[in-house]
Structure 1
């Protein structure tokens, strides 16, 4: 059993997966396994994976279902911690060591993410700076306002995921966002390291445009779920929050307000009353 399980899904990644695998194998922290779920690849992806003679690598074949493949990888992991990674990205040599150190030093942290260096074809390499570093206060509220960029570059505590029965859900192209929101709903503590510990490859823009509409729809759905969850949690003391939510949903459906207005209203409500609501949440525990 290894301390860290690196989980990667690969779908027709023959052009990038070798670099991703090698960046994992070169990690300064050695106690890991690399689980690669071959997600229905029809190119040379599987052959490239099999070309590595390293006992730390495990390959699992699955049909072309990305969300299912992620869950298969998580279920197969044996580590205390799960480190996510895409098959086009490159790990900093100390990524596992540094994220492992944070998780060991602060056992209350459930998810440890980091800043990243963005690169790609015809894209200048640059650091993507987050609005947050350190512990993320009011994580559900901050997720509501797009204050945290969520990429598959995080490490999470497997015992918490198992205990709370949290898994990836069918929110295509927003599955990490949904996962984080469910962890936050379950009182999981989120942490953002300001060190860029991964090089994230930006996909071809034409492909991104095709997926963007689905992604926007799913992000909107998740945000509405977050708003309802926050309103419902506080409705024992403030029962008017539930009808407030439904009234604004109706206004949204009639296009009398925009989604931006809808989410800004509730974000402001929860931010301005954060101390009051925090006291209520503590009493309700």
Structure 2
């Protein structure tokens, strides 16, 4: 049986997934299997996958989303460790070698991830991901709750971690990886290898460009973790405002700008449950009713209100 199972979910990436697979097959560490889950692609993805023959295992399923695709791969995986890579990213040849050595020499680590290069159609960006987004020196549940600093395509995790915390949440259409890492870090240590071991593709059509969807799912993940862990509920208010509560205000204002008052008020009700009826809450609630305020006024947040949405009330 292989030591590592590499799982690649793919959807309509016939022009890119082959490059991803080739980067995995070029690893200096060789005791692994590659499981590609084709999530209902309607392009030539199937033809590309079958060109690799028995070098990879292909799972075909109807389009259910990336969480369901990763879960399908996990269910058939035989490895002691599970590695993830998205279908447009590329691994450096020594990625698995470095990370498996780390895991097998530090048995207290449940998940290891790495730095990565970011690139687009113009080439590789000058700063690595970790330089542009410094990882907290303390990697614990509360710091990860602040923001997700674990890129999925860099992750190798013990299979026993996934067996203990469960599979990816298939009801999340984004941020499903963040949800998983929050569950894992509550029980196991995670470790960063500061060396870049992945090339991460910056795509203009990335799911991350859908601001509403990202905010909705990001808040759902935060709510789940906040409810599971009383220690998070005891964090300083300033921290919670900056990294949790104020995102409800941002989402509510996004809905207001789209004249979706009912959605705005629903979002504000969630905010009020956690933070109370602050002045920003009252102001946004008022302008969520289009008859009460002109479109010219609601098109722009006053500077004082915007500052409070970003930093919290004094």
Q: Which TM bucket (shorter chain)?
A: 0.7 to 0.9
Deviations along 1:148-206, one digit per CA (max 9) or x if unpaired, are: 25333200000221133343442222111011011123x12111111110001111247
Conservation of the 8 A alpha-carbon contact between 1:252 and 1:259 = no
Deviation, 1:147, is 6.1
CA–CA separation in structure 2 for the residues paired with 1:176 and 1:206: 15
Q: Which runs of 5+ in 1 are unaligned?
A: 236-244, 266-285
CA–CA separation in structure 2 for the residues paired with 1:137 and 1:164: 22
Pair 98,168 (structure 1): closer, same or farther in 2 beyond 3 Å: farther
Match for residue 272 of structure 1?
none
CA–CA separation in structure 2 for the residues paired with 1:247 and 1:182: 24
Deviations along 1:205-257, one digit per CA (max 9) or x if unpaired, are: 47653x3321121112222333333336888xxxxxxxxx9863434797169
Conservation of the 8 A alpha-carbon contact between 1:169 and 1:179 = no
Give the TM-score, by structure 2 length. 0.71
Deviation, 1:101, is 0.6
CA–CA separation in structure 1 for the residues paired with 2:112 and 2:146: 20
> How does 1:63-82 map onto structure 2 within 5 Å?
63-66=62-65, 67-82=67-82
RMSD: 3.0
Pair 104,217 (structure 1): closer, same or farther in 2 beyond 3 Å: same
Pair 88,234 (structure 1): closer, same or farther in 2 beyond 3 Å: closer
- Give the number of the structure whose residues are more often strand, by fraction: 1
SS in structure 1 at match of 2:73: helix
Conservation of the 8 A alpha-carbon contact between 2:165 and 2:183 = no
Count of aligned positions: 252
SS in structure 2 at match of 1:9: strand
Deviation, 1:261, is 4.8
CA–CA separation in structure 2 for the residues paired with 1:233 and 1:120: 37
Match for residue 216 of structure 1?
215
Please identify the structure whose Cα radius of gyration is greater: 2
Q: Which runs of 5+ in 2 are unaligned?
A: 235-270, 283-304
Pair 168,76 (structure 1): closer, same or farther in 2 beyond 3 Å: farther
Match for residue 3 of structure 1?
3
Deviation, 1:18, is 1.3
SS in structure 1 at match of 2:68: helix
Match for residue 173 of structure 2?
172
Match for residue 151 of structure 2?
150
Conservation of the 8 A alpha-carbon contact between 1:132 and 1:147 = no
Match for residue 184 of structure 1?
185
Q: 2:157 matched to 1:131? A: no
> How does 1:1-285 map onto structure 2 within 5 Å?
1-53=1-53, 55-66=54-65, 67-122=67-122, 124-126=124-126, 127-129=128-130, 130-132=133-135, 137=138, 139-146=140-147, 148-185=149-186, 187-205=187-205, 208-209=208-209, 211-231=210-230, 248-251=274-277, 255=281, 260-261=310-311
Greater RCO, 1 or 2 (C-alpha within 8 Å, sep 6+): 1
CA–CA separation in structure 1 for the residues paired with 2:15 and 2:182: 32
SS in structure 2 at match of 1:38: strand
Conservation of the 8 A alpha-carbon contact between 1:111 and 1:155 = yes
Match for residue 253 of structure 2?
none
Q: Which moved more, 1:197-206 or 1:14-23?
A: 197-206
CA–CA separation in structure 2 for the residues paired with 1:157 and 1:252: 44
SS in structure 1 at match of 2:78: coil
